[in-house]
Structure 1
Amino acid sequence: MSEPSTGKPYGTVLIKANEILEFLLKTQDAPSLAQISAGLGMAKPTAQKILTTMNQLGMVRRDDQTKRYYIGTQMIAYAQKALASFDIAGAARPFLQKLRDETGETINLGVLRDSKIVLIEKLESPTSIKLQSIIGGTMNLYSSAMGKAVLATYTQSQLRQYFDTTKLTPLTPYTITSQTKLQADLKQIQQTGVSIDNEENESEVFCLGATIHKNHQLYGAFSISTPKYRLPKERRTEFVRLLLNTQHAIEAAL
């Protein structure tokens, strides 16, 4: 059997069904038929026919009382299968390599596992000193740039549970061990989109981090690690710009 063609997409109805799913995914409240039709610029009879078929297939669910549409539970199994087989390292690598080349510093990629960051990719700086992190190693959420970026996405309930089960043990003299100070730090991260590890995880090492997050799904986090002496204020500002540009590029490609 030949490989699928990468040419012009086939099947107008499939394309329109995908547009409907994308619309449902992005809207905060379940939309009505009229809202879907208006939002997509799709004729209401066309939208209704496609939605009826999607409803029969379990791709969407229509609430008969409110006449509003939701993504169907049939899609849960597909989402779980896709996440299980998704290779975030492979998807992010070209962008992280570009970031490494632009900064000349070490770039890390990690994923969340059991309230820790597991390092799954490390692109070494050509002029790097030896850093402690190794592929497969773990970092605390509260002390690492990648970890704090992830913690900043937590709800208050999730954060309380994390604090209830995690002791904020200092790794260096600069590790934040106060819940109040850490929460203030997380609020700053939520505002800027960038987390900072200022010798908190490893002495004399400064890291800037950000999450890879799309459609309410956290895929992981990445960071720029550098000896602190190589990061004056003006260079730090440039690194923040490059970090956020890389984040946006990765998320757009997912």
Structure 2
Amino acid sequence: MTPDTPSQPADTPEDSARTPGIQVIDRAAALLDAIARYPEPVSLKILAAETGLNVSTAHRILASLIQNQFVEKDAASHYRLGRRLLQLGVRLHGNIDVRALARPVMEALRDRFGETINLTIREGDSVVYIEKATPNRMIHVQQLIGSRAPLHVTAVGKLMLGASGEDAIRAYAQRTNLPAYTRKP
């Protein structure tokens, strides 16, 4: 250390507890917490009021969270938590076998309704089958675990599209051109 360089005291745990966070991260976390308090998508106006943020500031931060898939925006311009949070949460507890947890519930549904029960996830414009419980009967649709299908050709894919809102459906239709996968009679 040179004589003209002031000495810096070492950081202590007490110092780091008093150190303010990074403002934009704190604000993003506040927005995520506010969205999580609502079971349904919530408006920008409510989120700004709950977090004490200016509407334009909340909007900018939400736009970045959408771009990074931490938040989703529906056709009514309301916000909900994004799928990426679930993906990260699964990695946090990577030793949890979702298929094993879901299997008893899927089997109970299969037994109650006598239908095939599929556990799926959406990846882009496809649905991916990750587990199934099939009824003990001769005729049923057979999906292989790990197989993919375009969203618009499966019932579960159509549900996923419907849940994403009208704008997302239009964008999907434009992007994929909705190719047919069966012959018309």
Give the structure 1 partner of residue 135 of structure 2: 125
Quick check: 2:116–2:140 contact (8 Å CA) kept in 1?
no
What residue identity is the alignment partner of 2:37? K
Give the structure 2 partner of residue 82 of structure 1: 89
Q: Deviations over 1:22-42 (max 9, x none)?
A: 98322432386xx8xxxxxxx
Give the structure 1 partner of residue 179 of structure 2: 169
Q: SS state of the match for residue 47, structure 2?
A: coil
Deviation at 1:174, TM superposition (A): 5.8
CA RMSD between the two structures? 3.9
Aligned pairs, number? 123
Name stretches of at least 5 consecutive residues in structure 2 with no aligned partner: 1-30, 56-64, 71-83
Deviation at 1:106, TM superposition (A): 1.8
| Correspondences of 1:1-12 after superposition (within 5 Å) | none
Quick check: 1:105–1:127 contact (8 Å CA) kept in 2?
no
In 1, the alpha carbon distance for the partners of 2:160 and 2:137 equals 28
What residue identity is the alignment partner of 1:116? S
Residues 129 and 109 of structure 1, relative CA distance in 2, 3 Å threshold: same
In 1, the alpha carbon distance for the partners of 2:151 and 2:85 equals 30
Q: 1:26 aligns with which of 17, 29, 37?
A: 37
Quick check: 1:105–1:128 contact (8 Å CA) kept in 2?
no
Give the structure 2 partner of residue 139 of structure 1: 149
Deviation at 1:109, TM superposition (A): 1.4
Deviation at 1:121, TM superposition (A): 0.7
**Which of 1 and 2 has higher RCO (CA within 8 Å, sep 6+)?**
1
Matched, 1:102 2:109: no
Quick check: 2:116–2:141 contact (8 Å CA) kept in 1?
no
In 1, the alpha carbon distance for the partners of 2:174 and 2:180 equals 17
In 2, the alpha carbon distance for the partners of 1:101 and 1:146 equals 19
TM-score (norm 1): 0.38
Q: SS state of the match for residue 99, structure 2?
A: helix
More strand by share: 1
What residue identity is the alignment partner of 2:144? I
In 2, the alpha carbon distance for the partners of 1:98 and 1:125 equals 11
Quick check: 2:106–2:132 contact (8 Å CA) kept in 1?
no
In 2, the alpha carbon distance for the partners of 1:112 and 1:78 equals 14
Report the more deviating stretch, 145-154 or 121-130.
121-130
Identity of aligned residues (%): 28
Larger radius of gyration between Structure 1 and Structure 2: 2
TM-score (norm 2): 0.50
Deviation at 1:116, TM superposition (A): 0.6
Name stretches of at least 5 consecutive residues in structure 1 with no aligned partner: 1-20, 36-61, 67-72, 176-254
